[in-house]
Amino acid sequence: MNALPQNLADPSAHTLPGREPLIGKSMEELRELVKSMDEPAFRAEQLHHWLYVHCVRSLDDMSNLKRAFRDKLAERYQVGSLVIDQKEVSQDGTTKYLFRLPDGKVVESVLMYFEERGTYAICLSTQVGCAVNCDFCATGKLGFMRNLSVAEIVEQYVYVQADSGKEIRNIVFMGQGEPMLNYDNLMQSIHILNKSAEVGIRHITISTSGIVPRIYDLAEANLQLTLAISLHAPDNATREAIMPLNKKWPLEELMPALHHYAGATGKRLTIEYILLAGVNDQPSHAHDLGKLLQGLKCNINLIPYNPIGDGYGYKRPSNNAIHRFKDALLPYGKKVTVRVERGVDIAAACGQLANKVQQA
């Protein structure tokens, strides 16, 4: 465990009663805010710059704002509300941040470095716990606790950017929670991350377990981001056994939604497939998957399961089984990749640390 710089562990960063976080506010909202305080319009630009370019943690750091304005702001607002609880750095450089929220709950974000591209990506959480209850997932075992606010989602990015000093140009919504079940806050967070933090929309990925109505909504929004679907099985029986939500939205409903999304946006989907030994990793599953995805514009990302503890009874397939599965898929003409595991020594698969701490 790495020692924390003092300012990161400052408990005064918690939301004080009656004080609202400024992070998460769009330029339009900041304009309204300064107008309501009878301040000149350019103050909104200044605030925006401090929040999203300099990523400061305190109103006192906004040095070009006059003292009287800062004091007035401090009566009702503070910069953010997350407090770092733990930070772990893996041997491969992956860094996991565990944040404590004002109500004492915790969520995590994971900063990853992609050496081959020389870029950083961050995995953000959108909920505390998750209602989807995938059988192999640590976060699912927590059950659903609450949605994260726009401020809490955006602040994960801003905080890690400031703390790491890295330019984080890729965002994946793949942390704790099902992003599409916190849809409005997700959309507003994406708006701010794109317009204020200037992360390119094509560099943002939403990963969903398959909330069908929201896939149609996202198609309508036509945002040109990447949609990743956690498919994990090529047939209803196998999928239902590991993802109970398949009962609500079986493949007969999910697949047309995916075709619609690809058609409406022109975007290639990413199909995520977690490989669980003896459950969904046989060549017959690969052939069924290849057939299921015929005609769909997509890439396939195979994710060998990374068990923690007893892995809830699930195991990672052998390397031979992983390669056999991949080889069986290749004739179906899709680009197939096997995800490189990151942060294995610090349990950086999403949901793992939060689960350990939340239950303590």
Catalytic residues: 108, 350
Q: Which residue is nearest to ligand SF4 (CB)?
A: 140
The conformation of residue 298, written as its DSSP 8-state character, comes to E
Partners of residue 127 on adjacent β-strands: 147
Least Cβ distance, residue 232 to ligand SF4 (angstroms): 9
Contacts of 93 (CB under 8 A, 6+ apart): 112, 113
Contacts of 338 (CB under 8 A, 6+ apart): 301, 302, 303, 304, 322, 326
Q: Which 3 state secondary structure label does DSSP give 86?
A: strand
Q: Closer to ligand SF4 at the Cβ: 313 or 331?
A: 313
Q: Give how far Cα 16 sits from Cα of 11, 102, 104, Å.
A: 10, 8, 13
Least Cβ distance, residue 8 to ligand SF4 (angstroms): 26
Residues within the interface to ligand SF4 (CB under 6 A):
130, 132-134, 137, 139-140, 176-178, 209, 351
Least Cβ distance, residue 198 to ligand SF4 (angstroms): 28
Is residue 172 within 8 Å of residue 123, measured between CB atoms?
A: yes
Q: Give how far Cα 235 sits from Cα of 65, 169, 239, 312, Å.
A: 59, 36, 6, 22
Span between the terminal Cα atoms of the chain, in Å: 17
Least Cβ distance, residue 141 to ligand SF4 (angstroms): 8
